[in-house]
Amino acid sequence: MKLLLATHNEHKRRELERLLAGSGWQVDGLPEHVRMGPEDAETFAENALGKARAAAQATGRLSIADDSGIAAAALGGAPGVRSARYAGEQASDRENLEKLMREVPAGSALEYVCVIAMVDPRDGSELLFDGRCAGRMAAQERGEGGFGYDPVFVAEDAPGELTMAELSARQKDEISHRGRAARELRAWLEQSAATAG
C-alpha cells in the first residue's frame, strides 16, 4: 500500500518512511510537475490540509502533508505557523534560531507542534493527526544534530538537560512532535489495513 507525501523534500519523505517502517505502507514523494501553493494559513491544520488537498486533487491518490513549527510562551505563541520565515521571508535556520535566542528568555516555555493531514480523493474524507512536544529554552545553544530550533530546545521528556540537537535521531523520534503525529497516523493506517482485511 502506498501513500503520497505532499513534499519535494526527500529528507522529509525518508523520515516519514522510517517512522512508518514495518506498517506495510510505502511513502512516495510528490511528482516533479505538481506545485504546492504558499503556506500562508493561520493554523498548522489549515496549512497541512491545503497541501494534502492539492496533492490529492493533482494525482487522484491518497495524500498526506505536514506542517510544523515552534511556539514560545514569552512571545504569545509566536512564531507558530511562521516558524520557517520568522526572521524574514528567505531567512535561514540560523537566522531564525538567532532571533529566537534574542527574544526568548532562557528557561521559558516552548512547544513544538506538528499536524499531519490526510486526504482521500476517492470519498473526499479528511483526517488530522497531531503531535506536540513541550520544552524550555536553553541558556545557550548545544548540539550538532537535528535542524532548525533544535540546539536551544530542551524537551520535558529528554534525558537530562539535553537539547534536541544533542539527541540521536531515534531519541528525537520518540519524543518529538513529528514522531508523535506520525505514530498517530501509523496507528490509523494499521487499523484501516486490518479492517480492509
Residue whose CB is less far from ligand IMP, 96 or 171 = 96
Give the catalytic positions in this structure: 67
Describe the strand order of the beta sheet including 109-120 as a list of residue ranges.
Answer: 26-28, 2-5, 63-72, 109-120, 125-137, 153-155
**Residue 84 in contact with ligand IMP, rule: CB under 6 A:** yes
Q: Contacts with ligand IMP in 131-190 (CB under 6 A)?
A: 146-150, 176, 178
Q: How many CB atoms lie within 10 A of CB 29?
A: 18
Considering only 18-26, 28-36, 66-74, 117-125, which stretch makes contact with ligand IMP by CB under 6 A? 66-74
**Residue 54 in contact with ligand IMP, rule: CB under 6 A:** no
Q: Residue 162 has which C-alpha cell?
A: 539535553
Contact (CB, 8 A) for 151 and 141:
yes
Residue whose CB is less far from ligand IMP, 43 or 191 = 43
Residue whose CB is less far from ligand IMP, 143 or 190 = 143
Half-sphere exposure for 82 (CA within 13 Å, toward CB): 15
Least distance CB 194 / ligand IMP (angstroms): 30
CA distance 95 to 112: 18
Contact (CB, 8 A) for 55 and 30:
yes
The correct pick among 63, 96, 163, 171 for binding ligand IMP (CB under 6 A) is: 96
Residues touching ligand IMP, count (CB under 6 A) = 17
Q: Amino acid identity, residue 82?
A: R
Binding site for ligand IMP (CB under 6 A): 66-70, 83-84, 93, 96, 112, 146-150, 176, 178
